[in-house]
Amino acid sequence: MAECLLNIDLGELPEEDERLYASAQVANIACGGHAGDAQSMRRALEFCARHGTRAGAHPSYEDRANFGRKELQVAPEMLRAQVAAQCSRLLAIASEVGVPVCYAKPHGALYHAANRDPALAHAVVEGVLESLGPGITFIGPGAGALREAARAVGVAYAREGFADRGTLPDGSLIPRGQPGAVLSDPAVARENALRLALSGTVDTLCVHGDSAGAVEMAREVRAVLEVLSLRSESLGEGALRLVLPARLERRVVLESLKAQPGVVDVVVGEEYACVYFDPAAPPEDPRRVLGRLAVTPVLLEESPLVTVRVRYDGPDLEAVAERVGLSVDDVALLHASREYTVRSIGFLPGFAYLGEVDGRIAAPRLATPRPRVPALSVGLAGRRTGIYPFASPGGWNLLGTAVDFTAFLPGSGALLRLGDRVRFERVD
């Protein structure tokens, strides 16, 4: 799926929380019609610069008394001039701050009125183009007069959905003022984001910066969208491979995906998860599961701690020490001085990738792999370490040998599993 961006309507409140700009990928900045003035616009643009947020104009009916939420009878030519003037005010300050204005989205009643009326839609689009130029991306409803007006003049258009608004059975928004119209529950906003982003019908999701709970909702929606933007691909009938976000704990991913009805098996690695399922009864889209994990803490029982006794006698120990500028004893001490976590199960059955090693002893793989590495050799490659469960070819730097270690247990398989904790204990 193409990346879906989070846009937030901002610059509308005097004490606006800066964290909203950290979550927003696009900030729709009020430019004087319904709210905002030179000071608020400058503040919003400076926040955009600080957080790398793309700036957009948020023009409205000239109606500060009603916050732009009352539909007015304005002639198209006058409306065009009003929109152009608002966008120009924002652009002038943006030029001083050094932030380009790349987006435009009408506010409130104008958003809905212009989408019903082609004459108003053309007036809004023309006003935006007059001040901001043709390189703008217009944000608006998925279908209607605004989209057609933008298409008619070749302007890029982003179809919008609302994560913090309730919907009627036909999919339209519940009118403001009615129960359930404006949401404040981050969990509901997250589910809306998952549903809309995976539907393929939107290019951007909105959270209103003046809503109660906006900071929490924006954080959750942004986390969901970042997960969903990661690539997935089919591996054939009944198999799917997903790119995994770095922040997701791999054991949580494994257990959560395996718990889904219809899933036959899951293999989790450093960068990917492969999900295998019955094609006749496919599970819930795994991206939904990952999207929820991105923002919802999952409490698991503490992983077991496995202590591995190591004799530091490996053939590469001296070379690693020389490479990193430490003594052999220091390398052994640093290797055995921290607790590791099984990050993935690697290229051999039972081969656990453990991380992270102390950065002072990190060393790249050997340029030429050995044709045979003895079983129970303790190796180092980059910021990972591990134990060869049996003899095999391999290119890791060999630091030592695991003593009295059994890689596989009868009846239960590999000793080390995803998420397990490991400590090395130096022995002579």
Residue 298 lies in a domain: no
Amino acid at 285: D
The pLDDT of residue 248 is 79
Q: Is the peptide bond before 270 cis (omega within 30 degrees of 0)?
A: no
Minimum mean pLDDT among 102-116, 136-150, 283-297: which range?
283-297
Q: What is the pLDDT of residues 53-63, one digit of tens each?
A: 999 999 999 99
Boundary (domain end) residue, out of 246, 269, 293: 293
Local confidence band at 297 (pLDDT 50, 70, 90 cut-offs): low
Q: What is the pLDDT of residues 252-278, one digit of tens each?
A: 888 899 999 999 999 888 888 899 999
Q: Would you say residue 15 has pLDDT above 90?
A: no
Q: Does 237 lie in the same domain as 224?
A: no
**Residue 326 neighbours by CB under 8 Å, 6+ apart:** 334, 360, 361
Give me the chain's average pLDDT, please. Answer: 92
Q: Does 281 lie in the same domain as 406?
A: no
Local confidence band at 134 (pLDDT 50, 70, 90 cut-offs): very high
The pLDDT of residue 230 is 74
Q: Does 216 lie in the same domain as 154?
A: yes
Local confidence band at 367 (pLDDT 50, 70, 90 cut-offs): very high
Q: Which residue range is the domain that position 163 belongs to?
A: 5-228
- Helical axes 76-97 vs 118-132, angle rounded to 10°: 30
Mean pLDDT of 356-364: 95
Rounded Cα distance between 311 and 157, Å, is 63
Q: Would you say residue 126 has pLDDT above 90?
A: yes
The pLDDT of residue 300 is 58
Task: Choose among 228, 404, 248, 389: nearest CA to 311.
Answer: 404
Higher pLDDT pick, 265 / 284 = 265
Task: Choose among 35, 33, 86, 31: nearest CA to 62.
Answer: 33
Mean pLDDT of 281-296: 80
Q: Does 409 lie in the same domain as 263?
A: no
Letter string b/e over residues 72-102, b meaning 16 or more CB atoms within 10 A of that residue's CB: eebebeebbbbbbbbbebbbebbeeeebebb
Rounded Cα distance between 98 and 170, Å, is 43
Phi, psi values for residue 126, rounded to 5°: -65, -40
Boundary (domain end) residue, out of 262, 293, 324: 293
177, burial (CB in 10 Å: exposed 0-12, middle 13-18, buried 19+): exposed
Mean pLDDT of 199-209: 93
Q: Would you say residue 296 has pLDDT above 70?
A: no
CATH of residue 287: 3.30.1360.40
Mean pLDDT of 398-404: 96
Q: Does 209 lie in the same domain as 148?
A: yes
CATH of residue 136: 3.20.20.370
Residue 349 lies in a domain: yes
Give the count of domains, the chain: 3
Q: Does 103 lie in the same domain as 178?
A: yes
Rounded Cα distance between 28 and 313, Å, is 62
CATH of residue 377: 2.40.100.10
Residues counted in the chain? 428
Percent of the chain's residues with pLDDT above 70: 98
Residue 246 lies in a domain: yes
CA distances from 397 to 29, 206, 224, 226, 368 (A): 55, 50, 39, 36, 11
Mean pLDDT of 178-205: 89
Higher pLDDT pick, 220 / 43 = 43
Rounded Cα distance between 422 and 14, Å, is 51
Q: Does 361 lie in the same domain as 240?
A: no
Q: Does 357 lie in the same domain as 339?
A: yes
Strand 377-381 to 397-403 pairing: antiparallel
Letter string b/e over residues 222-244, b meaning 16 or more CB atoms within 10 A of that residue's CB: bbbbbbbbbebeeeeeebbbbeb
Q: What is the pLDDT of residues 302-329, one digit of tens each?
A: 778 999 999 999 999 999 999 999 999 9
Minimum mean pLDDT among 31-45, 212-226, 242-256: which range?
242-256
Q: Does 282 lie in the same domain as 134?
A: no
Residue 299 lies in a domain: no
Percent of the chain's residues with pLDDT above 90: 70
